[in-house]
Amino acid sequence: MKTTPIAIAALSLAATLAVAAPAKQAKHKPTAAEAKAFVTKVNDELKNLWVRQSNADWIRNTYITDDTEQASTWANEATMAYLANAIKEAAQFDGVKVDAETGRMLYLLKVASTVPAPSDAKQREELASISAKLEGLYGKAKYCGKDGKGKCREILELTETMAKSRNYDELLDAWTGWHSTAVASKPLYERMVEISNEGAKEIGYKNVGDLWRSGYDMSPADFEKETNRLWDQLRPLYDQLHCYVRARLSKFYGADKVALDKPIPAHLLGNLWAQEWQNVYSLVEPYKVSTALDVDAGLKAQNYDPKKLVKLGESFFTSLGLDPLPATFWERSQFTKPQDREVVCHASAWDVTYNNDLRIKMCIKVNEEDLITVHHELGHDYYFHQYYMLPALYQQGANDGFHEAIGDTMALSVTPAYLKNLGLIQAVPTDEKGLINVQLKDALDKVAFLPFGLLIDQWRWDVFSGKIKPANYNAAWWALRKKYQGVDTPVARSESDFDPGAKYHIPANVPYTRYFLARILQFQFHRALCKTAGHTGPLHTCSIYGNKDAGAKLKAMLALGASKPWPEALYAMTGERQMDAGAMADYFAPLYTWLKEQNKGMTCGW
Give the pLDDT of residue 21. 47
pLDDT at 18 over 90: no
- Exactly one of 267, 375, 380, 540 is catalytic; name it: 380
* Percent of the chain clearing pLDDT 90 (strictly above): 83
- 418 noted as active-site residue: no
- Which of these is catalytic: 135, 314, 368, 377? 377
Active site residue 526: no
Distance CA 208, CA 439 (A): 38
Indicate whether 19 pLDDT > 80. Answer: no
Tell me the helices (H) and strands (E) count for the chain, helix number first: 25, 4
Lowest mean pLDDT of 6-10, 22-26, 187-191, 517-521, name the range.
6-10
Which amino acid, one-letter code, is at 367?
N
Position 16 confidence tier, pLDDT thresholds 50, 70, 90: very low
The answer, yes or no, to whether residue 17 has pLDDT greater than 90, is no
d(CA 552, CA 576): 18
Q: Is 404 a catalytic residue?
A: yes
Dump pLDDT digits (tens) for 403-455: 989 989 998 998 888 888 889 988 888 788 989 999 999 999 999 999 999 99
pLDDT tens-digit profile of 375-407? Answer: 999 999 999 999 999 999 999 999 999 998 998
Question: How crowded is residue 538: how many other Cβ atoms within 10 Å of its Cβ?
Answer: 12
Q: What is the DSSP letter of 512?
A: -
- What pLDDT shows up at residue 454? 97
165: number of Cβ within 10 Å: 16
pLDDT, tens only, 469-526: 999 999 999 999 999 999 999 999 999 999 999 999 999 999 999 999 999 999 999 9
Spatial distance between the Cα atoms of 402 and 398, rounded to a whole number of angstroms: 6
Q: pTM of the entire structure?
A: 0.88
Q: What is the pLDDT of residues 238-287, one digit of tens each?
A: 999 999 999 999 999 999 999 999 999 999 999 999 999 999 999 999 99
d(CA 39, CA 403): 24
Pick the catalytic residue from 179, 242, 267, 376: 376
Residue 505 appears among annotated catalytic residues: yes
Task: With H, G, I as helix, E, B as strand and everything else as coil, classify residue 143.
Answer: strand
> In this structure, are residues 412 and 522 in contact, taking their beta carbons and an 8 Å threshold?
yes
Residues 15-32, mean pLDDT to the nearest whole number: 59
Q: Reply yes or no on whether the pLDDT at 14 is more than 50.
A: no
pLDDT given for residue 290 in this prediction: 57
Q: What is the DSSP annotation of 50-114?
A: HHHHHHHHHHHHHS--HHHHHHHHHHHHHHHHHHHHHHHHHGGGTT----HHHHHHHHHHHT--S
**Predicted confidence (pLDDT) per residue in 301-338, tens digit:** 999 999 999 999 999 999 999 999 999 999 999 999 99
Q: What percent of the chain has pLDDT over 70?
A: 95
Q: Does residue 7 register a pLDDT over 60? A: no
Mean pLDDT of the region 209-224: 95
User: Average model confidence (pLDDT) for the chain?
Assistant: 92
Continuous H helices in 339-449: 368-387, 400-411, 416-421, 432-446
Kindly tell me the burial class for residue 121, based on how many C-beta atoms sit within 10 Å of its own C-beta (0-12, 13-18, 19 or more).
exposed
- Using DSSP, state whether 351 is helix, strand or coil: strand
Q: If we measure between CA atoms, which residue out of 599, 605, 596, 595 comes closest to residue 261? A: 605
What pLDDT shows up at residue 87? Answer: 92
Among the listed residues 14, 285, 505, 572, the single catalytic one is: 505
Residue 25 has pLDDT above 80, yes or no: no
Catalytic residue among 404, 411, 476, 484: 404
At residue 163, the pLDDT reads 95
Catalytic: which of 32, 184, 347, 559? Answer: 347
State the catalytic residue, choosing from 244, 304, 382, 515: 515
